[in-house]
Amino acid sequence: MASDSQAKRFCKCIKAVRKTVKVRRGSTKEQAAIAICTKTILQSRGRTLKRFSCKKGPKLKTQKALSV
């Protein structure tokens, strides 16, 4: 489980990036924003995304990245 501050940062990141990202064919602005924020906020700290919600209050569920 991720901390509340990390969940807030993740949701803020998605909202900010969604406004500026260019969409590729076959994806939406929100999908691109989620991918970018997952890479920058979670994977840089050794976590991977399992589930999240930003609607009623930021909730983020993560797990440790699998090492190969």
pLDDT in tens, 13-58: 999 999 999 888 999 999 999 999 999 998 888 888 889 999 988 9
Structure tokens at 56: 């009623």
- What pLDDT shows up at residue 3? 76
Would the pLDDT of 2 be above 80?
no
- pTM of structure: 0.82
Structure tokens at 19: 């406004």
